[in-house]
Amino acid sequence: MEDALHNKFGNDRISSRQIDELIGLARGLVADGNVNQAEVEFLEKWLVANAGVSDAPLLGTLYRRVREILADGVVDEEEKAELLDTLNRFSNRDFELGETLKATTLPLCAPAPVLSFEGRAYCFTGTFNYGQRKHCEAAVTERGASAGGLTQKTNVLVIGTYATDSWKHSSFGAKIMNAVEFRRKGLPISIVSEEHWVAHL
């Protein structure tokens, strides 16, 4: 029993040290405001070498995201922007590892509406547990919806699970604020969480 406890606490210390190391690494990667292919590949190698850390849900998500980005051998501009946003928030310790934001600070519709897809226009913002933004968009387009940037014709804005309390200052905060403004003007736009959206798939 003592051995098991000792191992547990020993492992906790290792994870904590590795997480500190990853935060340092993330800070280094985002320092110049850009992420290039070599840096994404280096991050993947680090995550593979430190696989023990990926018990933490966020690290598991980060590892999957990096694998998806590298799957086609090319890191495109949107993938760089998404990863940069994730690493920025991670390096600022902006959220508990793997803990999702308490929805109260986000301007979500309450009660959350029943979602449909046929003929509806969706927009996605933030970092998603479901996958990259293009995977989220594919999930709605194959159900008869359209997906793209936020416009006055958007019916549903879906906010990714790993949003943070400081979402107004994040790179996707402007999109959320615009959607709130559309809603205030009486446009029929629903603002929902990733969790709510996934429940309708």
Residue 26, CA atoms < 13 Å, CB-side half-sphere: 23
Q: What share of the chain is helix, strand, coil (3-state, %, to 5)?
A: 55, 5, 40
Q: pLDDT tens digits, the chain, 201 residues: what are they?
A: 444 433 333 444 446 677 778 878 888 888 888 888 888 888 888 888 876 655 566 667 778 888 888 888 888 888 888 788 778 777 766 544 334 444 447 788 988 999 999 999 999 988 888 888 889 999 999 999 999 999 999 999 999 877 655 666 666 677 888 898 899 899 999 999 999 999 999
| Residues recorded for the chain | 201
pLDDT in tens, 102-153: 444 778 898 899 999 999 999 998 888 888 888 999 999 999 999 999 999 9
Going along the chain, which residue ranges are E strands?
121-125, 146-147, 156-159, 190-193
Say if pTM beats, i.e. exceeds, 0.85.
Answer: no
Q: Are 61 and 83 in contact (CB under 8 A)?
A: no
Q: At what angle do helices 133-141 and 77-91 cross, to 10 degrees?
A: 120
Q: Which residues of 85-95 are buried (b: 16+ CB within 10 A; e: fewer)?
A: bbbbbbbeebb
Q: Are 43 and 66 in contact (CB under 8 A)?
A: yes
**Which sign, positive or negative, has the C-alpha torsion 34, 40, 68, 91?**
negative
CA distance linking residue 83 with residue 39, whole number of Å? 11
The alpha helices in 72-123, defined as continuous H runs, are 77-91
Q: Which of 9, 15, 26, 92 is nearest to 56 (CA)?
A: 15
Backbone angles phi, psi at 158, to 5 degrees: -105, 125
